Amino acid sequence: MADLYTRLSKDNAALLLVDHQTGLISGLVRDYGVDEFKNNVLALAHTAKFFNLPVILTTSFENGPNGPLMQGLVELFPDAPKIPRPGQINAWDNEDFVNAVKMTGKKQLIIAGVVTDVCVAFPALSALNAGYEVFVVTDASGTFSKQVADAALMRMAHSGVQLMNWFSIASELQRDWRNDIEGFGALLASQLPGYQNVIGSYEGAQKDYINQKR
């Protein structure tokens, strides 16, 4: 029987960020608030940076209404391959993009983008056909409405794409807190406001314990 649980490995994964462009985000993403969505995308990006994953960026008509990439992505990955597609809707139809993926040598592809039902779904399904394991990051991918997103995610899941959010991606790559307790804790605290409360509560309890021992 085939394994039902395929884990992400930091040694075998690459991140593909598709069309996180300012015009598309502000004009088309409606299933998340713009600020929340941008925070999710940057959290995923910082996760990739923390685990030293290969990252590939791609854009569509960035000199037109779609706009440039989010500035935070450009700043985080100044040396990452950036593939400007001249017309292909499905990034997997662009030879330079596919070659950049092959050059990573990784077989697990983490994909996020705008919009979910097209710019994410099309390359995700194409990568499956090409023999890759595909993990789509739902909260770093956005589209016109929740109903549209749900239909696209269902289509991908039925085809074998694994659906995750950025936090579960980070946790599965980490595997064990002891691999880097301070570094992983700092990553979560910087990107997940709720986790700052966890750390604050813990630090307060530690101080109380120390004071009681004196």
As annotated, the active-site residues are: 119
Phi, psi of 45 (to 5 degrees): -65, -45
Angle between helices 166-174 and 34-50 (to 10 degrees): 10
